[in-house]
Amino acid sequence: MKTLENKTAIITGAGSGMGKAMAILFACEGANVIVSDLKTERVDAVVKEIISAGGKATGVAVNVSKEEEVKKMIDTAMNTYDGLDILVNNAGVMDDFIPVADVSNELWNKVIGVNLNGPFYTCRLAVPLMLKRGKGVIINISSIGGLNGARAGAAYTASKHALIGLTKNIGYMYGTKGIRCNAIAPGGVTTNIMEGANPNAFGYERMSGGFATNIRMAEPNEIAELALYLASDKSSFVNGTVIVADGGWTAY
């Protein structure tokens, strides 16, 4: 029997990078996957790849910072697969390494909207469904920027710290109800999250001092394998915590 046989998983930001790797791996392990991403063409491509390989997937174009679109995504899981077992909040945006004195309201609201409000909206809708089933798994993709102050700008750093707090609260509050909630804090991963970036010169200079201590970048599938472990029953006693996957970068 496959690891996630007959389980339904929602993965946000699944059109590329870590989210795409998770969607493909989860489907390969038997899950019904809701592929969610902002860009329709990326959603369609991942769904096609999964189905071509014999897996089950349904795509939904979603801006997770908009509550009504998140509800549509949750409803799709319920209407298509009659349940929700796994939620992976992977969608995220960077902030051009902008320090607090230069952060605009527009940038702040965008980053907090995607990186924090999005997971809040999804969790608020998913937890009642999981409570009815008596079980469920939530995985929030944070960052080593959620544990340290020199990996991004003010908005991204704040959003990822807050996501870890949300993770721990959910894990503790609902741990007796069969729901587990954990976070992954990746280091550098070869994704397109910096696509279209315009780094702030001062912010980039301040945070780049630690680049030399990074042993290597991860491939998206290395993070996907960790997510699979957390989504599976093999991690049944892992709850309310953060697993760092950075190749030893923050060990320095």
Report pLDDT for 163: 98
Report pLDDT for 13: 98
Catalytic position from the list 156, 172, 229, 252: 156
Pull the structure tokens for residue 144. 């080593």
Map out the domains of the chain as residue ranges.
Answer: 8-244
CB atoms within 10 A of CB 209: 9
Active site residue 156: yes
Phi, psi for residue 144 in degrees, rounded to 5: -65, -15
Report pLDDT for 210: 85
Report pLDDT for 109: 98
Report pLDDT for 89: 98
pTM for the predicted model, two decimal places: 0.96
What's the pLDDT tens digit per position in 198-207? 999 999 999 8
What's the pLDDT tens digit per position in 125-136? 999 999 999 999
Distance CA 224, CA 29 (A): 12
Pull the structure tokens for residue 67. 């509550």
Report pLDDT for 124: 98
Amino acid letter, 139: I
Contacts (Cβ under 8 Å, ≥6 apart) of 158: 112
Distance CA 95, CA 159 (A): 10
Pick out the chain residues at pLDDT < 50: none
Report pLDDT for 211: 87
User: In the CATH hierarchy, which fold is given to the domain comprising 8-244?
Assistant: Rossmann fold (3.40.50)
Cα distances (angstroms) measured from residue 29 to each of 82, 224, 229: 19, 12, 11
